[in-house]
Amino acid sequence: MNAQPVYWSLLKHKDWQLYLAATEKGLCFVGSQGQAFEEVAAWVEKRMPKSPLIEDAEKLRPYAEELIQYLEGERTSFTIPSDYRGTEFQRSVWEALCEIPFGETRTYSDIAAKINRPAAVRAVGAAIGANPVMITVPCHRVLGKNGALTGFRGGLEMKSKLLEIERKA
């Protein structure tokens, strides 16, 4: 069986530059601000070995459009399909993240309780850190128990900017 292609594009909007990648099934990766393309290629190689990377801005256009609408404060939810790959536990965490309403936050403990694994707070944190589709799977809405901004693959400055977008909308 041939590996399925992974299409990619660089979303550039105002001061945002994010690599996006998708399969035929949906968005599989949203990069972090300032991330190098080599990091994206390494991510694809690790999770989808032998999948060819093909630059295709047109194929990524629907994903880019919804992300730009979000970054502009015009969109509060996403309709684009996702093709995120992870363990059953990771997927349960990512699905719980998608249930956090726009403009609201939760703690790692809240997510652990939501998936009926209240003692798995650290594992929940690791799964959140492995989220391949930032923004559309809103890991930026998870804060530390004391309400502090904590770990985020895109960096705390990016997390803060995303939360600010949601506060203003």
| Rounded-to-integer distance, Cα 104 and Cα 163, Å | 9
- Here the CATH number for the domain that contains residue 142 is 1.10.10.10
Same domain assignment for residues 65 and 92: no
Give domain status of residue 79, yes or no.
Answer: no
Q: For 46-94, how does the pLDDT look when each residue is reduced to its tens digit (9 = 90+)?
A: 989 999 999 999 999 999 999 999 999 999 999 999 998 899 999 999 9
| Domains held by the chain: number | 2
Q: Residue 28 catalytic?
A: no
Residue in 60, 111, 139, 165 annotated catalytic: 139
29 domain residue, yes or no = yes
The reply to whether 80 falls in a domain is no
Count Cβ neighbours within 10 Å for each residue of 105-126 and write b for 16 or more, e otherwise: bbbbbbbbbbbeeeebbebbbe
Pick the last residue of a domain from 45, 71, 97: 71
Q: State which residues form the domain around 97.
A: 88-168
Residue with tokens 């403009």: 103
pTM surpassing 0.85?
Answer: yes
53 and 96 fall within a common domain = no
Asked whether residue 81 is domain-assigned, the answer is no
Instruction: Tell me the per-residue pLDDT of 134-159, one tens digit each, with 9 for 90 and over.
Output: 999 999 999 998 888 988 888 999 99
